[in-house]
Each structure stands twice: as C-alpha cells, then as structure tokens.
Amino acid sequence: MNQKRVKPDPTESVALMMLAEMSDLVEVMWILRALRKGYPDTRVAIVTAAPYRSLVEGEGAEFIECPPRGVLGIWRTASALHRGGYRQLADLQGSSRTALIRWAFALRRLFRCKLSVAEKTRKSHQMLTRKFRKVLLPNTFNTERYRLALNELSFVGLSLLDNRIDSNRSLATPPADFAEALGTKSGLWVGYAPFADERGRMFPTSTSDKLVALLAERFERVVIFGGGAMERQFAEGVAYKYGPKVVPAVGMLSPYDEMQLMRSLDLLISPDSPSLHLASLASVPVLSIWGATHPFAGGAGYGQNPEWQLQLDLPCRPCSLRGEKGCMFGDWRCINNITPEMVVSRAEEIIASLK
C-alpha cells in the first residue's frame, strides 16, 4: 500500500545561503550552532560552494552545493532546496546572485515559502572607508546581522552562543596526518597564517619569514596555515630553513580538519583572513593583525578580545572593506610598519594573560 507523502512543517527546516568567501561562511557556523542549541529538532541546510562541504557537514548541517554561475545553476539550486523539503530560506549574503536564487526558489515552491535577507550596512561602511572625514564607529557584527535575518523567519528570539576562549589546549587531539610531525604536546604551540586575498591585509614574504624565525626561537611548535601552491611553497621553505619546530599545514587539510588542528594551539597569529574565523570557531585565542581593513567593519573574530588586535592608528585606514584598493601612498604603511618584533611581543603578552 502506497504511503502518502508527509509534507514537512515549515518551522522544522531552514536553509541558510552564503556563497561568498570562506570568512563569511565560517561566521554563519555560529548561527548554525545557535539553531542546534535553541531549535534542536530543526533541519538545517547551508547553500555554499563545494570546497566548504567538510565544514558544513562537520558542523552537522546538510550541504547543498551551488553550481557555477548561470541560469541553469540557479534553477538547480532552487530545485535542490525544494526536493529537500525546505520552505524557509535565509539569504545571508544579499548579492544579486543570491537574490536570483531566492526568487527561483520562491517560484519553484509556488511562493509557499518564507524568505529573509540579512540587512546590509552599506552607508556606515562607506563612512568608515571613505578617504576623508572617516567615521570610526563599530558596525553591526556580521553574526548579529545573520541572527536578525533568522528572527524574521520562524526563529524569533534566537540567541548566539558565547565563545568561551581559554588557554588549556593540552587535551586537544590534532588530525592523524599531523600527529607525528607535531609530537606530544609540550611547551607552547602557536599557529601563523601569513596569507590573505589582498596585499593590504598581509605582510610581505620577507617580513613573514623573519616572523617565523622569531616564533621558532620562542615557541615549541609553529604551525603554518593557508592555501594555494605559492603559499605551500613558502610554508615548506620556512620549515626546511628553521627546522622541525616549524610544521607546514598549507593545502593539506579540509577546512574542518584545519579547525581541529587549530584546537591544539595556544595562540594563532593571523591577518584579516579565513584562518582568523576558523580559529574563533575552534575557540582558540587569536592575535589578529589589521592593515588596510579594520575590525570595525563587522568582521572581527567572533568572541575574540578586542585587546588582541594589532593595528596602527593611521588617518588613511581603513581604505576598503576587504583590502581590495591600492595604497594611496604606494608603500602599504598600514601593514608594513608593523614589525615582527611587535607581533612576537604582543603574542607573548596574550599567552601570559591567559595562564
């Protein structure tokens, strides 16, 4: 006897959409954790790019891949949401592409669905990054904007979880691939993520090389994070140059496994990059380094202490939200004037304060 198809209750499932860079997606994981805590019976899917599947599934959500750009890809994504029985969709990115997916999903569902969009803060961002008369006031954090978007659906009163960052990392178990290279935990382990998407957010290679040398002198292990062929070449080069204390982990792990490796660290040193947010998700203290960008834009690591931010007070910064603009002086003084000695000194202060 054929059974009737049971129509899912719209309050029992929701899809979150974030197709942008990894930093934004990692911040969405805090919304996922809040949903799992406040609404444990709710099915949650996340629509994002294929490289981030391990992170989405590792955090307990269903992964729905957004195919490459084009009308067919948009319709495929909307159809996948429909087949999954999702009737609520939160667009946490708010781009033209996600808007098309929203409307395709609504059309696929014959408009029997609930939609919400995370509010943009374009005007305050413009005031923060304009060349003259900058308004240096904190913008709404991205995690808060995402939470408010969920409140417009069936999740009124959704509360974000506290990020309890501590210094006791001795019980964390690194991935098996790195257990031999790292050895048994003794002394202090730090991570360093030298790379970012834009020049204005990261040190030049010579500065990063010197910083790794100083870190290897002071700490038992220095783990290098990042991704890409050039970055891996740098990480393997400094590991060969400064000995077994330096362990390269560039391009070797999925995002989820990389986060598990970070749990073994006493501190991560990172620019404004995905590694900052992955470490925050792992509740690892981060010394964040800010050049052309600024934590006031709303993308600082969730739960991180603002006193752990290293930045210079210059009238020209921030010049952009993601460091995509060229330097008006041509010398990138916002990042180049931060010395390796300044970084190591601040790192030692942070670790001492956590003991």
Assign residue 338 the CATH number of its domain: 3.40.50.2000
Q: What is the pLDDT of residue 170?
A: 56
Q: What is the pLDDT of residue 127?
A: 93
Q: Which residues of the chain have pLDDT under 50?
A: 1-6, 8-10
Domain co-membership, 147 together with 192: no
Domains held by the chain: number: 2
Q: Does residue 349 form part of some domain? A: yes
Q: Does residue 191 form part of some domain? A: yes
Please enumerate in sequence order all residues whose Cβ is within 8 A of that of 102, keeping only pairs 6 or more positions apart, or say none. Answer: 17, 89, 91, 115, 117
Q: What is the pLDDT of residue 230?
A: 86
Domain co-membership, 243 together with 327: yes
Closest CA to 247 of 139, 164, 174, 143: 174
The number of beta carbons lying within 10 Å of the beta carbon of residue 69 is 11
Domain co-membership, 251 together with 344: yes
Q: What is the pLDDT of residue 11?
A: 54
Q: Does residue 160 form part of some domain? A: no
Domain co-membership, 268 together with 212: yes
Question: Which domain does 42 fall in, by range?
Answer: 10-151
Domain co-membership, 141 together with 198: no
Q: What is the pLDDT of residue 147?
A: 96
CA 144 distance to own-chain centroid: 15
The 10 Å CB-count burial string (b at 16+, else e) for 102-132 is bebbbebbeeebbbbbbeebeebbeebbeee
Domain co-membership, 142 together with 184: no
Q: What is the pLDDT of residue 6?
A: 42
Q: What is the pLDDT of residue 5?
A: 43
Domain co-membership, 181 together with 81: no
Give the tens place of pLDDT for each residue, 51-108.
999 999 999 999 999 877 788 999 999 999 999 999 999 999 999 999 999 999 999 9
Mapped onto helix, strand or coil, the DSSP state of residue 112 is: coil
Q: What is the pLDDT of residue 177?
A: 75
Strand partners, 246: 222
Domain co-membership, 97 together with 231: no
